[in-house]
Amino acid sequence: MEWHRRHVLGLSDFHPEEMEFVIDTARSMEEVLTRDIKKVPALRGKTVVNLFFEASTRTRTSFEMAGKRLSADVVNFSSGTSSVTKGETLLDTARNIEAMKPNILVVRHSASGAALFLSRHVSCSIVNAGDGANEHPSQGLLDLYTILKVKGKVAGLKIAIVGDILHSRVVRSDLHSLGRMGAKLWLCGPATLVPREMERTGAVVTSDIREAVRGADVIIMLRIQLERQKTSYFPSLREYSQRFGLNRDVFSLAKDDAVIMHPGPINRGVELSDELADCERSLVLRQVESGVAVRMALLYLLAGGSHVAH
Amino acid sequence: MLLIKGGRVIDPASGRDETGHLVLKDGKVREFLGGEAPARFEGTVVSAEGMWVVPGLIDMHVHLRDPGYEWKEDILSGTRAAAAGGFTSVVCMANTNPVNDSPEVTRYIMEKARREGCANVFPVAAVTRGLEGKEMADFSELAEAGAVAFSDDGKPVENSLLFRRAMEYVRPFGYRILSHAEDSVLAGGGAAHEGWTARKLGIPGIPSAAEEVAIARDILIARQTRGKLHIQHISTRMGVDLLRMARRAGLDVTGETAPQYFTLTDAALEGYDTNAKMNPPLRGEDDRMAILEGILDGTIDAIACDHAPHEAYVKRCEFAAAANGIIGLQTSLPLSLSLLAEGKIGPGRIVELLSAGPARILRLQGKGSLAAGADADVTIIDPEAEWEFRPEEVLSRSKNSPFLGWKMRGRAAATICGGRVRHAAIAGVTADA
């Protein structure tokens, strides 16, 4: 298959074959990661800038690691506050970085649509590393990849995603990656955080975690952002954890070989009980592993690699 | 002296819809002539054959940004756009800088408009000082200076007690309060209509209830106080229903909508188009249908475009950070004329919505009618003209419109304000200097 994309902004327009292609490439990349010297020269002389307007350690580190393993020069630009409050517009910031001639901008921003917006105004490639509540395509692909590794397929699996669906960009990418591959998706959480309109995606929407987990093959728990409690989306973390947390009791309703995933960082004892977070069915660290490989694949493909580097 | 010859004269205020000739003299309508046009006429003759001759259009909701934001728009550029769009009068909101909460600002606007404007400008003054929602503005002084109504448009008067007091206080004086109906707490920092599109795009939603709750409150306060109320930019089905209910209850409550709310839906936000970002937001298809029904059955009294110019860079940014609002003066008429396509209303109703209605709501003397003695404000409409709304056509200082590139049908062939031709697209007619 030929790769024609200049940007990876979201998975909403990714065909299944295209996702499979990225994952095939990621598989080869993962092989590199098993070597003693975990570095290939594929992106030598290319520059990747991590342009992060929102706090993030793991995604930024993962992209940084991915770039470095491909021998790219990786530069991190972080801004805790949004560019607007500093007086510089997002576009001005991006154009300043662009003037330094990077090949790829990896962008994270709190506003939905920010990566798409930049892609219309700059000439380098853009990878969306999370834009508001819109998409987080590399997460959607790494979730798909992780499930494929363990289950061998996605079609026909019951996958429950539990937590703050409303504000989650992970969900919006997973709906494309997992949904388009034929998973039966269930979205679960407090009614204030699971919009009814999400039924339009074909997913089943519920506020009953037992119903969502019953017979599930995969359970993806989302981080509940602690500040949501302050804006009263639910009464308390205590109630949240009782109603929507995954513990041994609820997990026993799932299939015998069910697995647990979480995009991290985990609030132990809130959405996921301490023991489940570390149990042998938790794929949390496998997701992190897959993440580096998937991001290597995306950077590699965007930088013009068409065949797999060995 | 000016003779408009051979057009279809449509004037619902005097019950006229017939082909004939209109004579304007000394800034007033002198007479309507049926039959053959006068063979000899001392003055300018404008041929309007195949066109409609209607009372000058009035947009009762615009932001001219002057004083204070003249880079977005000023009185000259805004009234030029108005004239090009067929409007002889515009009613401008108070959220300028300084806010129009003092007679000095009101007079500044009126004097500047008189000096350099291409259309009549009627200022609306603030309900509360500084639009802060805390203390009432000095209504009488403002009205004396020329304010035609009061509104904190841009934001609601959040405090129900203060709103009640304002409605009650001005009632004996006959002033109308125009309400930007929004429960901003309920709107919760949203940036788009709470519906499928916002959910899909991950944009925080503004529920319809944020408008409906506020309209209901305002109507109930109008009932309590027997005051005169006008609901601005209605965008929801229940908003129209509430207005209909208020009318049936015999309350003096009027309402307007904007062309964008019966033309577009939130689907226009796909791709995070910041030119489709406004407040109230573009709603769903069911709301759009309800707005159309409200126009057809007479519930909605006026179409006003909520002309809100913004410089390019405050729209050229991520969606959440983009400013609200669109320009509309040059597209309001053709978009309104598209309502005729369904065949359920005739041109007379369009003229009511765009001229007679606003004149009645705001009691603008001599406006909204072509009866003898009315002001010589006349719009000549070519209902068949096909044209494209291109960026070069925009006369505003700002070009923030979701309708750029649209093919339009119908436009103002000439706009005559106080007997002076302010815009002309008819062969042989030139605008007065």
| Domains by residue range for chain B, with CATH | 2-53+376-424 (2.30.40.10), 56-361 (3.20.20.140)
Report the pLDDT value the prediction gives residue B387, as an integer from 0 to 100: 97
Report the pLDDT value the prediction gives residue A309, as an integer from 0 to 100: 41
Other C-beta atoms lying within 10 Å of the C-beta of residue A231: 11
Residue extents of the structural domains in chain A: 16-135+288-302, 137-283
Q: Please answer whether residues A59 and A130 qualify as being in contact, where contact means their C-beta atoms are separated by less than 8 angstroms.
A: yes
How sure is the predictor about B215, in pLDDT bands with cuts at 50, 70 and 90? very high
Tokens of A181: 């591959």
Q: Does B276 touch chain A (CB under 8 A)?
A: no
Lowest mean pLDDT among A92-96, A201-205, B287-291: A92-96
B306 is catalytic: yes
* Calpha distance B152→B129 (Å, rounded): 9
Q: State whether B317 and A135 contact (CB < 8 Å).
A: no
Model confidence over A93-132: pLDDT tens digits? 999 999 999 999 999 999 999 999 999 999 999 999 999 9
A-chain CB neighbours of B200 within 8 Å are 172, 200
Report the pLDDT value the prediction gives residue B343, as an integer from 0 to 100: 86
Report the pLDDT value the prediction gives residue B430, as an integer from 0 to 100: 85
pLDDT over 60 (residue A84): no
pLDDT, mean over chain A: 93
How sure is the predictor about A310, in pLDDT bands with cuts at 50, 70 and 90? very low
* Calpha distance B254→B412 (Å, rounded): 27
- Is it true that the peptide bond before A265 is cis, omega within 30 degrees of 0? yes
Q: Which fold has domain A16-135+288-302?
A: Rossmann fold (3.40.50)
Rounded to an integer, the average pLDDT of A186-212 is 96
- Chain A residues within 8 Å of chain B (Cβ atoms): 82, 84, 89-91, 109-114, 116-117, 121, 131-135, 167, 169, 172, 195, 197-198, 200
| Spatial CA neighbour of B163 closest among B149, B152, B147 | B152
Model confidence over B371-405: pLDDT tens digits? 999 999 999 999 999 999 999 999 999 999 999 99
Q: State whether A132 and B313 contact (CB < 8 Å).
A: no
How sure is the predictor about A86, in pLDDT bands with cuts at 50, 70 and 90? low
pLDDT over 50 (residue A218): yes
Q: State whether A112 and B320 contact (CB < 8 Å).
A: yes
- Measure the CA dihedral B300/B301/B302/B308, to 10°: -60
Q: State whether A89 and B313 contact (CB < 8 Å).
A: yes
How sure is the predictor about B300, in pLDDT bands with cuts at 50, 70 and 90? very high
pLDDT over 60 (residue B6): yes
**Length of chain B in terms of residues written:** 433
* Calpha distance B413→B427 (Å, rounded): 9
Same CATH topology for A16-135+288-302 and A137-283: the answer is: yes
Find the CB nearest B201 among A82, A90, A113: A113
Find the CB nearest B317 among A90, A110, A197: A90
Distance of CA B407 to the CA centre of its chain: 22
How sure is the predictor about A81, in pLDDT bands with cuts at 50, 70 and 90? low
pLDDT over 90 (residue A305): no
A to B CB pairs, distance under 8 Å: 62
* Calpha distance B289→B314 (Å, rounded): 31
Q: State whether A112 and B202 contact (CB < 8 Å).
A: yes
Would residue B324 be called left, alpha or beta, if left means φ above 0 and alpha means ψ between -120 and 50 degrees?
beta
pLDDT, mean over chain B: 97
Report the pLDDT value the prediction gives residue B337, as an integer from 0 to 100: 98
Kindly write down the DSSP assignment for every residue of A7-22, as one continuous string: -B--STT--HHHHHHH
Model confidence over B217-267: pLDDT tens digits? 999 999 999 999 999 999 999 999 999 999 999 999 999 999 999 999 999
Give the helix/strand (H/E) hosting A295: helix A284-302
CATH class belonging to A137-283: alpha beta
* Calpha distance B175→B227 (Å, rounded): 9
Report the pLDDT value the prediction gives residue A85, as an integer from 0 to 100: 56
With vertex at residue B237, the alpha carbon angle to CA B235 and CA B238, rounded to the nearest 5 degrees, is: 105
Task: Give the minimum alpha-carbon distance from A115 to chain B in angstroms, rounded to a whole number.
Answer: 9
Rounded to an integer, the average pLDDT of B152-161 is 97
pLDDT over 90 (residue A304): no
Find the CB nearest B317 among A89, A197, A198: A89
